[in-house]
Amino acid sequence: MVAVFVFAGSAQASPTAFGAFRNNGTESSAAVSQAISNVPMNVGIVYDALGQTNTIQVYNFGTLLFTGPVDISLTLARIRSGGCITAEKDDGEFFNFTGNEFPNIPRKGNNYYIEFTVWFSINTNNATYDPSVEPYGSMAFPGSMRLLIGLGGEVYFTGDHYGEDGPQQNAYYVNPLPAPGAYRITSVVPSTNDIRINWQTVGGSSNVVQATSGTGSSDYSNNFTDISPIIVPNAGDLTNATYLDTGGATTVPTRYYRVRLVP
């Protein structure tokens, strides 16, 4: 189930007409046209790093407003139609990375990604939007939701305006989808009497290493217990993490390991 927020024109108090995308030192309507032409028509659902849709979060000045599915198809449709929210200066402007904003987005050089405002009170039939409608009940225009669209058709979403307030360090995915297997153990390596467990995870998530003992014929699949403290890797998508199970190599019978995400 995907929530699509559409506000009919008749219910809008002060609909405002879209303008045309601009051409100046930081904006190019030709680049906008190129970027949106490379975005597949069937995309619009927002995904997290695990390919899930019901965990997308939207913040406003550090306050969590919403957790759940988000569909930005309307925003993509209005960009395809050439509709610019001219009241928001960043709509259609090149976004060039100046630091470690969203470490999971590949760097492609200057003037590759274009920034767009996401505003759900859109009437595509009338080519208008309503800045007086507050999404999620308390987000004033232009809000914190943005897209980055690459010239090759890549689309990324943020519900926290590039993590300015801290909660979201990675962008969400629209196109292409996140790579599968974000969470997986990559190696279990003996080190004298110890065992080192290495795994791939998402930066900022809370992880706990668990273990159980048994033989190949015993029922050990539901008998895992925590053996590590909570481990929170550094920011970044598909981050590597590690834990040393002291004395694990001398444990009899053999231990089996897994990594659990802590809510």
Q: What is the pLDDT of residues 143-179, one digit of tens each?
A: 999 999 999 999 999 999 876 555 677 899 999 988 7
Confidence tier at 104 by pLDDT (50, 70, 90): confident
Domain ranges of the chain: 9-175, 184-261
Could you give the percent of the chain with pLDDT greater than 70?
A: 87
Q: Is the pLDDT of residue 141 over 60?
A: yes
Q: Cβ(198)–Cβ(242) under 8 Å? A: yes
Q: 28 pLDDT band (50/70/90 cuts)? A: very high
| Per-residue model confidence as pLDDT tens digits over 162-172 | 765 556 778 99
Structure tokens at 161: 């305006």
Tokens of 74: 């309307």
Mean pLDDT, rounded, of the chain = 86
The C-alpha atoms of residue 53 and residue 94 are separated, in whole angstroms, by: 27
- CA 101 centroid distance within chain: 12
Mean pLDDT value of segment 93-112: 90
pLDDT surpasses 70 at 218: no
pLDDT for 2 equals 38
Residue 83 pLDDT exceeds 90: yes
Sign of CA dihedral 250, 252, 256, 262: negative
Q: Are 153 and 38 in contact (CB under 8 A)?
A: yes
By mean pLDDT, which of 85-89, 95-99, 165-169 is the weakest? 165-169
Q: How confident is the model at residue 229 (pLDDT cuts 50, 70, 90)?
A: very high
Q: Using pLDDT thresholds of 50, 70 and 90, give the confidence band for residue 1.
A: very low
- Which pLDDT score is estimated for 6? 39
pLDDT 10s digits, 49-72: 878 898 899 998 888 999 999 999
Average pLDDT over residues 232-258: 84
